[in-house]
Amino acid sequence: MSADKPSADAPFDPAAVPIRAAATVMLVRDHPINGLEVFMLQRTLAAVFAKGMYVFPGGRVDANDNEDQLEAVCDGLDDEEASALLGIPNGGLSYWVAAIRECFEEAGVLLARPTSSNELIRFDTDTALQNRFNVARHAIHDGKMSLVELCATENLRLVTDNIHYVSHWITPLGEPRRFDTRFFIARAPEAQEPLHDDNETIASLWVSPIEALERHARGDLAMIPPTTSNLQFLAPYATANEALKAAKKIGIPTAILPKLKTDAEGKVIGIAMPGDADYN
């Protein structure tokens, strides 16, 4: 029996749900008409957590993201520095690596560069190369390969120094799955085209943060509070450079822990955010 799914006969104990480390990355680009855009994915309707919601590429930090060899393949960031940025004792670099891995698995975008170049890897000039990395994408998703192994095989370095930490959210007590999630921002590579995987995600789009928030308000794009909050962070900025510059100045964000609001029968009727009158 999966550790994530208690027996059907056992009562649900919210306090027993483990809180798993996770990382999410907002890929941003400049559009000639729309200005700043961010890439979003729609989660499958079969997902246990946030089903059908529009999100940014991301997921759990897994064992392969904690390999001892991580520092050797990461640009400009070691574990001590990454951990200090997150405000944790150690293991911080694994969050950056998880964000890169999940972005590659879910969107097909690899935030890495060849060791022979300072430019991000291109997938638009060599069909054989594109196909080889598509195979690697699935191998990494299936746990048959790690990012460290891919970097060794393809002579790559992960561009961790150009991925910036912007917010920290913890799933409310009472949800069947809970995550301690760090949100990052990165410029999308010009020579890679993001695309959902048709497995964990079923649709994708580039959208300006303001339009995404407007569509959410109209009910067109379903989102959870961490997503809308991070879109609100992006909304004031006209370009990717402005958003990235602002992200570098954030420092260590305060962890945000929403709380579920329930009625007298225990049915969830909403979410209370820190600062709300009913947040207690």
Looking up residue 155, the CATH number of its domain turns out to be 3.90.79.10
Place of tokens 């069947």: 176
Q: Residue 272 falls within a domain, yes or no? A: no
Domain range enclosing 137: 14-250
Report how far residue 17's alpha carbon sits from residue 20's, in angstroms, rounded to the nearest whole number. Answer: 9
| pLDDT of 47 higher than 70 | no
Beta-sheet strands, E only, within the chain: 19-31, 35-43, 54-55, 58-60, 112-114, 156-158, 163-170, 178-187, 201-207, 255-256, 259-262, 268-272
Q: Is residue 214 part of a domain?
A: yes
What is the reported pTM?
0.90
Domain annotation covers residue 4: no
Q: How confident is residue 2, by pLDDT bands cut at 50, 70 and 90? A: very low
Residue 273 within any structural domain of the chain = no
Average pLDDT, the chain: 89
Number of domains in the chain: 1
Query: Residue 142 domain-assigned?
Result: yes
Q: Is the pLDDT of residue 142 over 50?
A: yes
Angle between helices 93-107 and 127-141 (to 10 degrees): 120
> For residue 257, is it within any domain?
no
User: What is the sign, positive or negative, of the torsion defined by CA atoms of 110, 169, 181, 203?
Assistant: negative
Q: Is residue 118 part of a domain?
A: yes
**First and final C-alpha spacing in the chain:** 35
The pLDDT value recorded for residue 60 is: 93
- Examine the pLDDT at 6 and tell me if it is beyond 70: no
Residue 36 lies in a domain: yes
